[in-house]
Structure 1
Amino acid sequence: MNLFIASEVRSGSTYIAESLAYSFSDSFKVDFWDAGKELFNQLSDSTDADQIESILSSLGQNSIGIKCAKIMCASLSIICREVKRNPELYDHFFGQNACWIIIRRRNRIKQAVSLATAIASDTWHFYDDPKTSPDNKVSISNESIYDALKMIILSDDYLENFSHFVEKSTTIYYEDFIGNELEVLKNTINKLGLPFDEQLLTISPAKLKKTGQPLKSEAERAFREYLLENYHQVE
């Protein structure tokens, strides 16, 4: 079986994937660490089916025979294009033994603020004391948030579209996951038919830290006001 996570930038996918990996490891003693790794991120427009198959073959298989990877929208679109030319490869990604977790975020503006902040601070994931994170000190403009929002909307629409083409999948929204981790992961086990007893599942949270929260909250407030007054000027 192959378990893939489809996601977009700043969707909370790393936090959710790591929470799944820690929880499944502690509860079922099974390795799911590759679920949070973007192992197809080197794909480009020139990538062909053979190269994708080579990466897929190199993925580690855990003790119950499952391979995992997190795939971002740009790489996913190349995979969708190339597997059409290779029925066997198509089966690995979209056949009966492939399942997908699609991770999205409901609050697109908050997601865009997070993306603009990550770009400005070059801080994408942080595991130490949140007070020491570089994104506590950056300055982001409304224009940079707007540019990030355009990217977010396109990638989110891509994932919405993708969800209608993949047969065995479940969608997790970051906002629904936070504070409701146990129920969401139990539902994931049932929806995807993963070979685990959901009653044995306990939650072991990811170690990833939220950072720059005061700055991001203020940036979101300011951008919402800016957007109300300046939408007509934005091209």
Structure 2
Amino acid sequence: MSDEPPRAPSPLAHAEAHEGALGTRLNWLRAAVLGANDGIVSTAGLVVGVAGATDSRGALLTAGLAGLLAGSMSMAAGEYVSVSTQRDSEQAALALERTELTTTPQAELAELAGLLENKGLTPELAREVAEQLTDHDALRAHAEVELGIDPDQLTNPWHAAGASFLAFTGGALLPLLAIVLPPASVRLGITVGAVLVALLLCGWGSARLGDAPAGRAMARNAAGGALAMAVTYAAGALLGAAGV
């Protein structure tokens, strides 16, 4: 190993750390926007379909609340299972890496140096950096360079489930309140208008977070929501006319 003192973190490394944190926040924001979008579309389709069959405020409220609770719980449970599986995989990978560092430390050092060399460092510098990283925190070094995992920031299934629940609920409340609060003569128009505006905003938000063209995403989002409401309203109207 070199006798030179460790170099201070470069501005590039500092920027990359901030970019990683920013990427995590953007992923959470994107998930929140998509969860809210799902809540808007699914609940709007449900209450508009019921509105096609009846103008009973009680029936609309019951259907909307049932859809909101079922959808939000389903989203939360699905996200919990998915993220729990991801966390289990991350923990298993870290456990395996910890074992390999204990049983074959020299092989792991050579592997880390090879990974750093693949990133563009010279063989000599890659070896020196690998040795310094190993001396400082071998598991963290391998976790971040080899596995792309931060051992201190593993995915939390409870956080993911809670975020999905809140995002879906927030989106679902819009069509539910829009269909229940206004007078019967205007509730359908208000609901459709509010839902389309909300979907346009969700499309704009998801496009901005993904650096994609906003116009296409907004049009696609609004068209999908409009189609869902039209289909469910037609189905509700047919069932209502048939006296079902």
* TM-score under structure 2 length normalisation: 0.22
User: Greater share of helix residues, 1 or 2?
Assistant: 2
* TM-score under structure 1 length normalisation: 0.23
- Greater relative CO, 1 or 2 (CA 8 Å, sep 6+): 2
User: Greater share of strand residues, 1 or 2?
Assistant: 1
